[in-house]
Amino acid sequence: MFRIAVMVSGGGTNLQAIIDAIDSGKITDTEIAVVISNNADAYALERAKKAGINAVCVSRKEISDRDAYNKALIAAVDEANVDLVVLAGFLVVIPEEMIQKYRNRIINIHPSLIPSFCGTGYYGLKVHEAALARGVKVSGATVHFVDEGTDTGPIILQKAVEVKDGDTPEVLQRRIMEEAEWKLLPQAIQMLAHKES
Ligand code: GRF
Protein backbone atom coordinates (compact mmCIF):
# COMPACT_ATOMS: atom_id res chain seq x y z
CA MET A 1 0.00 0.00 0.00
CA PHE A 2 1.47 3.35 -1.09
CA ARG A 3 1.31 5.73 1.89
CA ILE A 4 1.09 9.49 1.48
CA ALA A 5 1.13 12.49 3.79
CA VAL A 6 -0.84 15.53 2.58
CA MET A 7 0.30 18.90 3.94
CA VAL A 8 -2.28 21.70 3.96
CA SER A 9 -2.83 25.27 5.17
CA GLY A 10 -6.28 26.30 3.94
CA GLY A 11 -9.56 25.15 2.43
CA GLY A 12 -8.30 21.72 1.39
CA THR A 13 -10.03 21.40 -2.00
CA ASN A 14 -6.94 19.67 -3.38
CA LEU A 15 -6.95 17.32 -0.38
CA GLN A 16 -10.62 16.64 -1.11
CA ALA A 17 -9.78 15.85 -4.73
CA ILE A 18 -7.28 13.24 -3.51
CA ILE A 19 -9.76 11.76 -1.02
CA ASP A 20 -12.43 11.55 -3.73
CA ALA A 21 -9.99 10.04 -6.25
CA ILE A 22 -9.07 7.28 -3.79
CA ASP A 23 -12.76 6.66 -3.02
CA SER A 24 -13.66 6.51 -6.74
CA GLY A 25 -10.72 4.26 -7.66
CA LYS A 26 -8.90 6.86 -9.79
CA ILE A 27 -6.05 6.40 -7.33
CA THR A 28 -5.40 2.76 -6.38
CA ASP A 29 -3.39 0.91 -3.74
CA THR A 30 -2.84 4.20 -1.93
CA GLU A 31 -3.83 5.58 1.45
CA ILE A 32 -3.55 8.99 3.07
CA ALA A 33 -1.64 8.10 6.26
CA VAL A 34 -1.86 11.62 7.69
CA VAL A 35 -2.96 15.17 6.92
CA ILE A 36 -0.65 17.77 8.44
CA SER A 37 -1.55 21.46 8.74
CA ASN A 38 0.38 24.45 10.06
CA ASN A 39 -2.95 26.19 10.66
CA ALA A 40 -5.36 24.92 13.32
CA ASP A 41 -8.24 26.70 11.58
CA ALA A 42 -7.67 25.12 8.18
CA TYR A 43 -10.92 23.68 6.85
CA ALA A 44 -8.74 20.98 5.30
CA LEU A 45 -8.47 19.48 8.80
CA GLU A 46 -12.28 19.22 8.92
CA ARG A 47 -12.24 17.43 5.55
CA ALA A 48 -9.69 14.95 6.90
CA LYS A 49 -11.69 14.28 10.04
CA LYS A 50 -14.91 13.78 8.03
CA ALA A 51 -13.04 11.25 5.90
CA GLY A 52 -11.72 9.47 8.99
CA ILE A 53 -8.13 10.39 8.18
CA ASN A 54 -5.55 11.06 10.90
CA ALA A 55 -5.14 14.86 11.05
CA VAL A 56 -2.30 16.64 12.84
CA CYS A 57 -1.69 20.34 13.36
CA VAL A 58 1.90 21.47 13.78
CA SER A 59 1.03 25.05 14.58
CA ARG A 60 3.45 27.76 13.59
CA LYS A 61 1.73 29.98 16.19
CA GLU A 62 2.53 27.57 19.02
CA ILE A 63 6.16 26.89 18.10
CA SER A 64 7.74 30.26 17.50
CA ASP A 65 11.35 29.06 17.24
CA ARG A 66 11.99 28.17 13.59
CA ASP A 67 14.40 25.29 14.27
CA ALA A 68 12.04 23.77 16.84
CA TYR A 69 9.16 24.14 14.38
CA ASN A 70 11.10 22.48 11.60
CA LYS A 71 12.02 19.56 13.85
CA ALA A 72 8.38 19.13 14.88
CA LEU A 73 7.24 19.22 11.24
CA ILE A 74 9.79 16.60 10.18
CA ALA A 75 8.90 14.43 13.17
CA ALA A 76 5.21 14.51 12.21
CA VAL A 77 6.04 13.36 8.67
CA ASP A 78 8.55 10.73 9.82
CA GLU A 79 6.04 9.29 12.26
CA ALA A 80 3.59 8.61 9.44
CA ASN A 81 6.16 6.44 7.64
CA VAL A 82 5.11 7.57 4.14
CA ASP A 83 6.33 6.98 0.59
CA LEU A 84 5.32 10.42 -0.67
CA VAL A 85 4.66 13.88 0.77
CA VAL A 86 2.05 15.94 -1.10
CA LEU A 87 2.00 19.73 -0.58
CA ALA A 88 -1.61 20.77 -1.25
CA GLY A 89 -1.64 24.48 -0.59
CA PHE A 90 0.92 24.25 2.21
CA LEU A 91 2.22 27.76 2.80
CA VAL A 92 5.17 27.09 5.11
CA VAL A 93 8.68 26.79 3.65
CA ILE A 94 9.76 23.13 3.73
CA PRO A 95 12.94 22.73 5.83
CA GLU A 96 16.05 21.96 3.81
CA GLU A 97 16.70 18.93 6.06
CA MET A 98 13.31 17.52 5.03
CA ILE A 99 13.97 18.11 1.32
CA GLN A 100 17.25 16.21 1.64
CA LYS A 101 15.65 13.41 3.65
CA TYR A 102 12.70 13.07 1.23
CA ARG A 103 14.58 13.83 -2.01
CA ASN A 104 12.23 13.38 -4.99
CA ARG A 105 9.48 12.23 -2.62
CA ILE A 106 7.83 15.61 -2.05
CA ILE A 107 5.49 17.03 -4.70
CA ASN A 108 3.69 20.37 -4.90
CA ILE A 109 0.77 21.76 -6.88
CA HIS A 110 1.28 25.29 -8.19
CA PRO A 111 -1.56 27.25 -9.86
CA SER A 112 0.31 28.39 -12.98
CA LEU A 113 2.30 26.94 -15.88
CA ILE A 114 5.78 27.02 -14.33
CA PRO A 115 8.13 28.83 -15.10
CA SER A 116 5.50 31.58 -15.41
CA PHE A 117 4.17 33.32 -12.31
CA CYS A 118 6.04 31.27 -9.72
CA GLY A 119 8.75 31.67 -7.12
CA THR A 120 8.87 33.83 -4.02
CA GLY A 121 5.69 35.84 -3.46
CA TYR A 122 3.63 33.94 -6.05
CA TYR A 123 0.98 32.03 -4.11
CA GLY A 124 -2.81 31.91 -3.92
CA LEU A 125 -4.61 34.78 -5.69
CA LYS A 126 -1.32 36.62 -6.29
CA VAL A 127 -0.51 34.10 -9.02
CA HIS A 128 -3.75 34.81 -10.87
CA GLU A 129 -3.51 38.57 -10.37
CA ALA A 130 -0.08 38.48 -12.04
CA ALA A 131 -1.35 36.32 -14.93
CA LEU A 132 -4.26 38.69 -15.58
CA ALA A 133 -2.00 41.75 -15.26
CA ARG A 134 0.33 40.27 -17.89
CA GLY A 135 -2.61 39.55 -20.16
CA VAL A 136 -1.84 35.87 -20.83
CA LYS A 137 -4.51 33.99 -22.79
CA VAL A 138 -3.61 30.65 -21.22
CA SER A 139 -2.64 29.77 -17.68
CA GLY A 140 -2.98 26.48 -15.80
CA ALA A 141 -1.40 24.36 -13.08
CA THR A 142 1.80 22.41 -12.51
CA VAL A 143 2.74 19.47 -10.30
CA HIS A 144 6.45 19.35 -9.60
CA PHE A 145 8.98 17.75 -7.27
CA VAL A 146 10.08 20.02 -4.45
CA ASP A 147 13.76 20.92 -4.24
CA GLU A 148 15.64 23.60 -2.33
CA GLY A 149 14.27 26.37 -4.51
CA THR A 150 10.78 27.87 -4.68
CA ASP A 151 8.71 26.13 -7.39
CA THR A 152 11.97 25.10 -9.11
CA GLY A 153 11.94 21.30 -8.88
CA PRO A 154 11.49 18.92 -11.87
CA ILE A 155 8.05 19.23 -13.47
CA ILE A 156 5.85 16.13 -13.36
CA LEU A 157 2.56 17.22 -14.99
CA GLN A 158 1.02 20.42 -16.36
CA LYS A 159 -2.40 21.32 -17.70
CA ALA A 160 -3.35 24.49 -19.58
CA VAL A 161 -6.52 26.43 -18.81
CA GLU A 162 -8.04 29.21 -20.94
CA VAL A 163 -8.10 32.72 -19.53
CA LYS A 164 -11.40 34.36 -20.51
CA ASP A 165 -12.26 38.03 -21.11
CA GLY A 166 -13.46 39.64 -17.92
CA ASP A 167 -11.92 37.01 -15.65
CA THR A 168 -11.29 38.17 -12.11
CA PRO A 169 -8.48 36.53 -10.10
CA GLU A 170 -11.10 34.61 -8.13
CA VAL A 171 -12.88 33.32 -11.24
CA LEU A 172 -9.62 32.30 -12.89
CA GLN A 173 -8.43 30.61 -9.66
CA ARG A 174 -11.60 28.55 -9.48
CA ARG A 175 -11.41 27.51 -13.14
CA ILE A 176 -7.77 26.44 -12.74
CA MET A 177 -8.65 24.46 -9.62
CA GLU A 178 -11.60 22.72 -11.29
CA GLU A 179 -10.04 22.09 -14.69
CA ALA A 180 -6.44 21.50 -13.70
CA GLU A 181 -5.40 21.22 -10.04
CA TRP A 182 -8.04 18.76 -8.91
CA LYS A 183 -7.18 16.52 -11.88
CA LEU A 184 -3.40 16.82 -11.97
CA LEU A 185 -2.64 16.11 -8.32
CA PRO A 186 -4.55 12.78 -8.16
CA GLN A 187 -3.08 11.85 -11.55
CA ALA A 188 0.46 12.55 -10.33
CA ILE A 189 -0.10 10.51 -7.15
CA GLN A 190 -1.43 7.55 -9.17
CA MET A 191 1.62 7.76 -11.47
CA LEU A 192 4.07 7.84 -8.58
CA ALA A 193 2.21 5.16 -6.64
CA HIS A 194 2.64 2.84 -9.61
CA LYS A 195 6.01 4.15 -10.78
CA GLU A 196 4.60 5.19 -14.12
CA SER A 197 6.46 7.85 -16.08
C1 GRF B 1 -4.45 26.02 -4.53
O2 GRF B 1 -4.79 27.09 -5.38
C3 GRF B 1 -3.07 25.53 -4.89
O4 GRF B 1 -2.75 25.68 -6.25
C5 GRF B 1 -2.18 26.41 -4.11
O6 GRF B 1 -2.87 26.67 -2.89
C7 GRF B 1 -4.25 26.51 -3.10
C8 GRF B 1 -4.73 25.49 -2.11
O9 GRF B 1 -6.08 25.40 -2.15
N10 GRF B 1 -0.92 25.75 -3.87
P11 GRF B 1 -6.79 24.23 -1.28
O12 GRF B 1 -6.38 24.42 0.17
O13 GRF B 1 -6.32 22.92 -1.81
O14 GRF B 1 -8.25 24.47 -1.52
Whether residue 88 has its Cβ less than 6 Å from ligand 1? yes
Distance 90 CA to ligand 1 centre (A): 8
Residue 12 CA: which ligand 1 atom is closest? 12
Distance 48 CA to ligand 1 centre (A): 15
- The mean of the pLDDT values for the chain is 97
Averaged pLDDT for residues 25-34:
98
Of all helices (H) and strands (E), which one includes residue 3? strand 2-8
Cα–Cα distance between 39 and 57 in angstroms, integer? 7
Whether residue 37 has its Cβ less than 6 Å from ligand 1? no
Distance 8 CA to ligand 1 centre (A): 8
Which amino acids are annotated catalytic? 110
Cα–Cα distance between 174 and 194 in angstroms, integer? 29
3-state DSSP assignment of residue 184: helix
The b/e string for 33-42 (b: 16+ C-beta within 10 A; e otherwise) is bbbbbbbeeb
Is residue 125 scored above 90 in pLDDT? yes
Whether residue 12 has its Cβ less than 6 Å from ligand 1? yes
Distance 134 CA to ligand 1 centre (A): 21
What separation, in Å, do the N-terminal and C-terminal C-alpha atoms of the chain show? 19
Which residue minimizes the CA distance to atom 10 of ligand 1? Answer: 89
Q: Which of 109, 113, 143 to mutate to test the pocket of ligand 1 (most atoms within 8 A of CB)?
A: 109
Is residue 196 scored above 80 in pLDDT? no
Instruction: Kindly tell me the sign of the dihedral angle through the C-alpha atoms of 122, 150, 90, 163.
Output: positive
Whether residue 140 has its Cβ less than 6 Å from ligand 1? no
Q: How does pLDDT run across 133-182, given as a tens digit for each residue?
A: 999 999 999 999 999 999 999 999 999 999 999 999 999 999 999 999 99
Q: How does pLDDT run across 80-91, given as a tens digit for each residue?
A: 999 999 999 999
Q: Check which CATH number belongs to the domain holding 22 and give it.
A: 3.40.50.170
Q: How does pLDDT run across 55-100, given as a tens digit for each residue?
A: 999 998 999 999 999 999 999 999 999 999 999 999 999 999 999 9
Averaged pLDDT for residues 170-195:
98
Chain-centre distance for alpha carbon 88: 2
pLDDT score for 60:
86
Cα–Cα distance between 123 and 119 in angstroms, integer? 8
138: containing domain: 2-193
From residue 147, give the alpha-carbon distance in Å to each of 81, 95, 107: 20, 10, 9
The total of structural domains in the chain comes to: 1
Cα–Cα distance between 146 and 141 in angstroms, integer? 15
Whether residue 111 has its Cβ less than 6 Å from ligand 1? yes
Distance 88 CA to ligand 1 centre (A): 6
Give 155's strand partners: 144
pLDDT score for 197:
64
